[in-house]
Chains A and B, each alone.
Chain A
């Protein structure tokens, strides 16, 4: 699966990237995590609040840093 973190470099975006990496490691899931920092590309997802979390091309969360269990749940349901 492919996970994208949309964010121009705010602290929440970096934290979301870290949290996501940790979550997939704990779930032992095969996934590529890509950080998208280009604002034009970010806008293509229709995201108005960063960070955005995109799983397999679908925006599942914006503007929030989810808790670890919530993040795992999002990853699992959108696999």
Chain B
């Protein structure tokens, strides 16, 4: 097929085009908004619209690039392989490994239950399984690269390290607390056929194709959330005065971190939708620790996820899980408010 032969060429052209557009976004936006439409830079409306027109393509471009790269990386991993790696690992080492694998293993929250059952059935300890289930949604590549693009590498690194630590220690504590008895009884009765579809070694062109496939799938699904996220961000950016939120959610207030987490739990969004909002929160005077805590809470502790988990866990387990993770997030929040 002609397309296959030219796959590398197309991918190369795609990168060149990507770089050209990305580097020239600011002048293009300035031209469109101020010269062509004639909005004034100093007005609320001008600022809001500029923010929206600039941020949407920027975030989408970053997203396409990251998701493409991750699609290729993830083609080397699968839940089955991850399960095999984790089998028979001692508790603490298992927690660390599970958290790290949580970043790279393909994971969708709708598969959380089959994955949980598959791990438990293979005899992987509950604590190790939870390290994976906490890390997989929270420390994800989309969050990391968007943080990198909007706040720089320090914030992204902080997020990566603290997110991993929360996943490792929460899972470890859950393991130590012997929460097994609060798993729904039917779970241990599940017997599964361990026959795995043999995966043939994929040639690299196949992996590139899978990268494109994942871009289509993920960007196609979340672009709406990004638009909404940035629209909210743009409104706040143009119309809410700087430092407006500082008195409520700035670092002087001891209750700002727990409050941010409480607000975050009922909200449900993926990383891509929440980050534009977080960037505006910081601009308006919310301290970094509080903003990160809010973001982690929205992504890692959400009502829909709790409802899904209720199928396999009893209430004491769910309450413990939420409390431990919330405690971890609060610690991270205070830590950053303290050192930044």
Interface residues of A (CB under 8 A from B): 8, 10-13, 39-40, 42-50, 59-63, 65
Contact = CB atoms under 8 A, between A and B. Distances in A.
Contact of B118 (A40, A43, A59): A43
Contact of A59 (B113, B117, B197): B197
B214 to A, nearest CB: 10
A39 B113 contact: yes
Grouping DSSP codes into helix (H, G, I), strand (E, B) and loop, the A interface class, with mixed when no group exceeds half, is mixed
B193 A49 contact: no
Contact of B80 (A12, A43, A45, A48): A48
Contact of B114 (A11, A48, A59, A60): A48
Nearest to B79: A48
Interface string B196-221: 11000000000000000000010000
B110 A12 contact: yes
A42 B111 CA distance: 11
Given A39-B113, A62-B197, A46 B108 contact: no
B195 interface: yes
Contacts of B113: 8, 39
B106 interface: yes
Which bracket fits the contact residues of B? Answer: 20 to 34
A44 B191 contact: yes
Contacts of B121: 43
A45 B106 contact: no
Given A44-B193, A46-B195, A50-B114, 20 more contacts: A8-B110, A8-B114, A10-B108, A12-B108, A12-B110, A39-B117, A42-B114, A43-B118, A44-B192, A45-B192, A46-B192, A47-B118, A48-B83, A48-B111, A49-B79, A50-B110, A59-B195, A59-B197, A60-B197, A63-B108
B21 interface: no
A39 B197 contact: no
B186 interface: yes
A45 B293 CA distance: 39
A49 B194 contact: no
Contacts of A62: 197
Interface string B26-51: 00000000000000000000000000
